[in-house]
Amino acid sequence: MNINFLALLLAALSTLVVGFIWYNPKVFGNVWMKEAGLSEEDMKGANMVKIFGLSIVYAFLISFILQMLTIHQFGAMGMIGGDPTIAKPSYTAFMADYGTAFRTFKHGALHGFMTALFLVFPLIGTGALYERRSFKYVMVTSGFWAVCFTIMGGIICMMQ
């Protein structure tokens, strides 16, 4: 099984599309700015090239982990140490039977969402407690990542 860099890149880029919609002032942008303690002036002074560029890099890194969580065949690959050339014949037989099992957008989206719910939400929530941020902030930010992880997981899982 090879890493599909195109799938990872498309998944990473999808976060920008979701972000443009999610953080639009007519959706959650104004709520997020208020809860984050930011103003329109703060937003105008930002280096958007840097922000969008690093956002893609970070999302690309996230996509590497999401492929391990959405593509079950990575577990089989881990059991043989990552090198199929040294695997026993049972690995080859297993992959022939199940190498493309559960490789759909729907399945990847489910695992992406579960990852957001059980990993991202608690991380953002815990950080928000110490940063004295509101539950509204937690929900807007976690919701964004839940949508992103759902879409990213779907893209990564379906692109064989």
Check if the beta carbon of residue 79 is closer than 8 Å to that of residue 7. no
Check if the beta carbon of residue 142 is closer than 8 Å to that of residue 120. yes
Check if the beta carbon of residue 74 is closer than 8 Å to that of residue 67. yes
Nearest-angstrom CA–CA distance, 47 and 70: 34
Please give the pLDDT value at position 160: 78
Q: Is the pLDDT of residue 109 over 80?
A: yes
Q: Mean pLDDT across the stretch 98-115?
A: 96
Q: pLDDT category, 1, cuts 50, 70, 90?
A: low
Please give the pLDDT value at position 2: 75
Q: Is the pLDDT of residue 41 over 80?
A: yes
Domain definitions of the chain by residue range: 5-158
**Mean pLDDT lowest for which of 3-7, 33-37, 45-49?**
45-49
pTM of model > 0.75: yes
Please identify which residue in the block is written with the tokens 């208020």. Answer: 34
CB-CB neighbours of 160 under 10 Å = 12
Mean residue pLDDT of the chain comes to 95
Q: Residue 132 carries which DSSP code?
A: T
Q: Is the pLDDT of residue 32 over 70?
A: yes
